[in-house]
Structure 1
């Protein structure tokens, strides 16, 4: 496909094509202040249909833009067939395609890439497009529009501020805001939170326990069941499959520390969970995203004892039957309090980050506000009719 100013948009496939696609993204990321280089092998797996179980229910096309033979941008177009079955009022639904992995040298390239992604989706009967979502909603959704002044934490995207204007100039409008919140975990929680936690501790029906890493696969299935129930009414929700949980649990196991990940039980029944990851971006920045020659050794040492690491809470959930109840907030605050104490006492951590959180998720926003957190990053997902 050729567009104005002799920009050629090449559809990419195969091992060599995926390698070029990933390397181009890494090159663009290196230009953005405070970006953190990610492991090339991990990025390659995410776009490999033979490796990433996301492709068990999705199809995608990668594109690279070239000008004068030089690669000047990239984008993905993809359709998640599970998302097509979600009610449209939840953001996805019939006819909804997506774009992701968006990088461009200038606005002309951006327009050409977005046009190519739209044409691919339109040819497959999609009637609207959301993005950027790279590539599953559970991976890196949204474009960073506020917060470029600090490095991203683990599994969070990082983009230059000018991408927003280029996307909007191509006819896109914001449809959903995602927020992350940061807090100083060395400080005591407000008195109200402390009283809620003490009340829960005095409730004999409630048990807050660590995940058992020796039974991590089983624990991951418990988390999946709660997650798919708790998030099922949220905007953008697409259910995690068992294959995706198995894949993610294997990938995440090296950064799982039992004292930082909790399951809450009521009368012996698991009803809530909270996952917390030490920010591996801290060490990836030091090794420049490279395992060789000695990066693997630094990474392994850090994973064993991530002393001083920032902590991110990427996921938590409470069964829907408890939503809007006093017990739900009580369980959340009890897990947060336990994780905070362990992060500071055992890992000498000072900073935590919660999110992403949907702007209209009243329950989670209320929890963040009660903890006196501050919004430190804002992401936008855009939409356009095709």
Structure 2
């Protein structure tokens, strides 16, 4: 018998978070997220709760948790797309169709009770957080702030009536393989004459973060499922980046002194926490700081990149992106970074996908976003 229980309090939320540790205990590529970070993400400390209403459930068999799921409604999504769409997320469960069915029944019932008729996901908690169900690339660990999964998840979700909405790609690149073909170099030199690439000014950190937020919201506004970052969300992200991201891993591009694009490089925190089992106490903090600040990590991720809408469909737009990658490459070399992930990128963004493949990157993970129309 499967029992579905709502998550009501902090103790139950801790169990919801901890479930994945046991579920993936036999997966050599699993990395436990930091419990403190997950707890704060699913709390009032997350500025996303300003516009996201959510509920979590666990599935139990014989008193033991065997699955989990969330359902959420994002008012910013409603503002752009109408009030009939909700989302699911954080789906993890044993390989049992009855467990998946019970979890999705709970999530969809909650959404229908609030007037939702279409469901998309998985998101945790919206598209600007961990997004997509891993469907290719199970043989390598997830990079920082990217999801992992079980190979059977896609089949179990699709049996619930969910269809592909779109796919997200993660690209992997070894720095020694990064190269700019002569044809691209000529374009870069031409555009370089009118573009200034500068590092983030840490003395004006809060202001710089809002500049990047405006660029991101401009550049991504026509993408599948786009929801804008709020000022509070980007400010919170900035507080986290102050601690983890070196000064020379954030660059802003300007044309005539006006910001038009940016890129963020993030040391792969997952590499640094792989053996901490999600815990920073008693010695985890010391290990994390040592690895990030002294011994260093050898992989990185580019989690954020944006080009203002007005330049995206010009000849300059893709080249500006190349100039930002070039600047970040030099910073990575200084930090002894050997390889990086660029993620995520919509599969429909053929221009960026083509550019990345031309300079030496290859797609190595694929994440799927699903959608389903609910019946009465």
TM-score, normalised relative to structure 2: 0.95
Q: Secondary structure in 2 aligned to 1:73?
A: strand
Distance of 2:221 and 2:295 partners within structure 1: 33
Q: How big is each residue's C-alpha offset from its partner over 1:212-252, in whole Å with a ceiling of 9 and x where there is no partner?
A: 22322111111001111111111110011111112111122
Farther off after superposition, 372-381 or 359-368: 359-368
| 1:379 partnered with 2:370 | no
Q: How big is each residue's C-alpha offset from its partner over 1:249-285, in whole Å with a ceiling of 9 and x where there is no partner?
A: 1122212212121100001111110111110111110
1:343 to 332, 342, 358: 332
Aligned residue in 2 for 1:354: 342
Q: How big is each residue's C-alpha offset from its partner over 1:365-385, in whole Å with a ceiling of 9 and x where there is no partner?
A: 232233232111000011111
| 1:158 partnered with 2:148 | yes
Say whether the 8 Å CA contact 1:305–1:347 is kept in structure 2: no
Aligned residue in 2 for 1:101: 90
| 1:258 partnered with 2:253 | no
1:36 to 31, 52, 57: 31
Aligned residue in 1 for 2:40: 45
| 1:242 partnered with 2:225 | no
Distance of 2:27 and 2:264 partners within structure 1: 29
Say whether the 8 Å CA contact 1:9–1:63 is kept in structure 2: yes
Structure 1, unaligned runs of 5 or more: 1-5, 88-92
Say whether the 8 Å CA contact 1:39–1:289 is kept in structure 2: yes
What are the residue-to-residue correspondences of 1:102-121 with 2, within 5 Å?
102-105=91-94, 106-121=96-111
What are the residue-to-residue correspondences of 1:1-386 with 2, within 5 Å?
6-48=1-43, 50-87=44-81, 93-105=82-94, 106-187=96-177, 188-201=179-192, 203=193, 205-305=194-294, 307-344=296-333, 346-386=334-374
Distance of 1:32 and 1:143 partners within structure 2: 17
Distance of 2:180 and 2:295 partners within structure 1: 24
Q: How big is each residue's C-alpha offset from its partner over 1:99-146, in whole Å with a ceiling of 9 and x where there is no partner?
A: 111111222101110111010001111001112111121111100010
Say whether the 8 Å CA contact 2:268–2:297 is kept in structure 1: no
Distance of 2:186 and 2:300 partners within structure 1: 24
Distance of 1:17 and 1:118 partners within structure 2: 21
Distance of 1:147 and 1:23 partners within structure 2: 23
Distance of 2:53 and 2:311 partners within structure 1: 36
Give how far 1:32 is off. 3.1
Give how far 1:17 is off. 1.8
Say whether the 8 Å CA contact 1:171–1:384 is kept in structure 2: yes
Distance of 1:68 and 1:97 partners within structure 2: 31
Give how far 1:306 is off. 6.2
Q: Secondary structure in 2 aligned to 1:86?
A: helix
Aligned residues: 372
Q: Secondary structure in 1 aligned to 2:13?
A: helix
Distance of 2:183 and 2:291 partners within structure 1: 36
Distance of 2:26 and 2:50 partners within structure 1: 33
Say whether the 8 Å CA contact 1:131–1:381 is kept in structure 2: yes
Give how far 1:200 is off. 3.2
Structure 2, unaligned runs of 5 or more: none
Distance of 1:252 and 1:260 partners within structure 2: 10
TM-score, normalised relative to structure 1: 0.93
